[in-house]
Chain A
Amino acid sequence: MGFIDPEIGTTNSGRYFVMTIYAIVLLIFGLFQSSIEDILKGLYRIIVEPDFLITDYIGVGGIGAAFVNSGLLTLISIYVLYWLNINITGSAISTVWLISGFSFFGKNIFNVWFIIIGVVLYAVYQKDKINKYIYIGLLGTCLAPMVTQIIFGMKGPKIISMPLGIVIGIGAGFILSPLSAYLMRMHQGFNLYNIGFTAGILGTVIVSLFKSYGFLIESRIIWSSGNNRTLSLFLFLMFASMMAIGLILDKGSIMKLKRIYSYPGRLVTDFVLLEGFSVTLVNMGVNGILGVLYIIIIGGDLNGPTIGGIFTIAGFSSFGKHAKNMLPIFIGVYLGSITKIWNINDPSIQLAALFGTTLAPLAGEFGWKIGILAGFLHSSVVLNVSDLHAGFNLYNNGFAGGIVAAVLVPIIEAFRKDETK
């Protein structure tokens, strides 16, 4: 086992190296799936196609283009973090994997920049360092579909729609920072995708304005299927490799997983800082495989959106999620499918279960029963709130999760046993 230096897990450059390898794996896998010509055509379609929920980039541009788009955006994100001298901790890993995942359904190499520019301009306006706002900038790209919808989807001359889309994208990024910090209090860190909650609120306000001027957005769904065999093989190998690298770097990682399972997972629970990089990699691998198995067991589809959900689970397995606090959420969504009007393998419900693990800290803090209740509620709320922002906020589950947590947490705290008098 001497081919991997154990130092990799303990140094910042080593962690950058491991992250970069996985970005390159995504890129190479994409390049092997289609010809260069098809990939370029696919990337073009991905860029010009409106990206609001649910737009599966595998359905739009093919597997090759979708993976190349994800690999490129992942590499760019890692480089931005490196350039700004950010340490690779759970927060950085979850941010990068979230971008990798959403690069399969909504974020592309064209549309993310306007939000980031808005956040950078906010830092300049505040005479602050850009690196302080980098997570908000990268995570805030969930509002990127708003830009492409206005530029490419709005009726009328491009001379109006193009500057309008750019200005609204930059403007949204500009006000995201103060909003995201403030709105964190609403759910007290029990909703892991806080930017999703912020972007949901902001998106609701912007779309309400649009609708007042007669700019209506019809809902739609682009959802590919039939690629389960190829994609499950790739994903299983990738997550198994994470577990293997974690174990090679530290043979005691399996035992340390128990310690990870003891954390509630509420923000800020950074497993890399708390328990180390190696066991975090193992946790990411285990949870990634759990996500893939969930989709296969319920008869769902492995495609852009569900890969996005699985990558987000893997990423946040460095920042709060583990099998013990996620499983009650899955069970809650499943119980919902038995009693409610939809099926467990409906597209939106597949995503509700995967992304619903944003509420995993509720199960971690208050127990599995509350986790199941959170999953049960979340699967209904998430179906209802996407209309508010017209699918412009890619982290719709973060929006719904924030609402569920903001309702549940004060009630739970009001009725829990008081501390010792």
Chain B
Amino acid sequence: MKHNKLKISKIVDELMNYFFSKGAFEMNIDVKETPEYYRICFKSRGAKLSREEVKRFDKLLRYGKREEMEEYYWFLAGDSDVDTELSLVGMMTDETKVVYDEENGIEVILYRYKEGVK
């Protein structure tokens, strides 16, 4: 698959753009590559999200991998600071976990499996 690592960077860009727009002042990103998958662990503090926004964020990231969409649109992820492409991030990842509490902020874990693994 072409541009696999660049796609991981774009996913991270998109998450950073989103949380900056929501007022985040601290972000920690941990990216891990194994023979089977890429894992992105993203922690953010300071973002002001309503319960509705967290629910929506979670829904958008859970669309599930759609390779036909990814192939055509992946360049758009993380490319604009006036609008979000969270649904595209959902279409580029296989598994998602979102944990949020007002005190500790938000933690997002995304898995993107490599070709032929899943």
Contact = CB atoms under 8 A, between A and B. Distances in A.
Interface string A25-42: 000000000000000000
Given A87-B66, A181-B74, A268 B21 contact: no
Interface string A358-391: 0000000110000000000000000000000000
Contacts of A194: 72
Interface of B: 1-2, 20-21, 23, 63, 66-76, 79-83, 85, 87-88, 91
Interface of A: 84, 86-87, 89, 91, 126, 128-129, 131-136, 177, 180-182, 184-185, 188-189, 194, 264, 266-270, 273-274, 365-366, 413, 416, 419-420
Contacts of A134: 68
B1 to A, nearest CB: 7
B83 A177 contact: no
Given A129-B67, A274-B87, A185 B75 contact: yes
Given A266-B83, A413-B82, A419-B21, A189 B76 contact: yes
A132 B67 contact: yes
A84 B68 CA distance: 10
Contacts of B75: 181-182, 184-185
B67 A268 contact: no
Contact of B69 (A128, A188, A268, A366): A268
A141 to B, nearest CB: 15
Given A126-B2, A128-B1, A181 B71 contact: yes
A127 to B, nearest CB: 9
B7 to A, nearest CB: 11
13 contacts: A129-B67, A135-B71, A180-B72, A181-B72, A181-B75, A189-B73, A189-B76, A189-B83, A268-B87, A365-B83, A413-B82, A416-B82, A419-B81
Given A91-B69, A129-B67, A184-B72, 16 more contacts: A84-B68, A131-B68, A132-B67, A133-B71, A136-B72, A181-B72, A184-B76, A185-B76, A188-B76, A267-B76, A268-B85, A268-B87, A268-B91, A365-B83, A366-B82, A419-B20
